[in-house]
Amino acid sequence: MLIAQSMDTVEREFEVRDKHIANLEAMLVKAESDLATANDVIRGQRSEIVQAMSTQKTLLMQYHESEIESRELHEFLQAEKYTLAGKFKFSSFSFFFLYYFNFQTLVLI
């Protein structure tokens, strides 16, 4: 009888261990599935990062080109401004000179 009880105890212990192993295997399968899903997400995010970095690089190059064009346009407009200011002064002086000269001519007549 003592041997039978001992055998039952050992058999129950094996059953408990088998259930525990089955639970651990199920947890392992779920963890592997979760890991695969996480790896898929990481691969997708890496792809998005590469695309975003490429887009950022392109935009940065366009920004620098725009800055250069903006500086060139600003310099051109400054030069035109000074040219027009000089022409305006000259035309104002010419107008004043002609007006004064014609006025003096009229006064002399």
**Rg over CA atoms, the chain:** 46
Max CA separation in the chain (angstroms): 156
Q: What is the pLDDT of residues 32-80, one digit of tens each?
A: 999 999 999 999 999 999 999 999 999 999 999 999 999 999 999 999 9
Name the amino acid, one letter, at 78: Q
| 102 pLDDT more than 80 | no
- pLDDT value of residue 105: 56
Start-to-end Cα distance in the chain:
156
Residue 9 has pLDDT above 80, yes or no: yes
pTM assigned to the model: 0.53
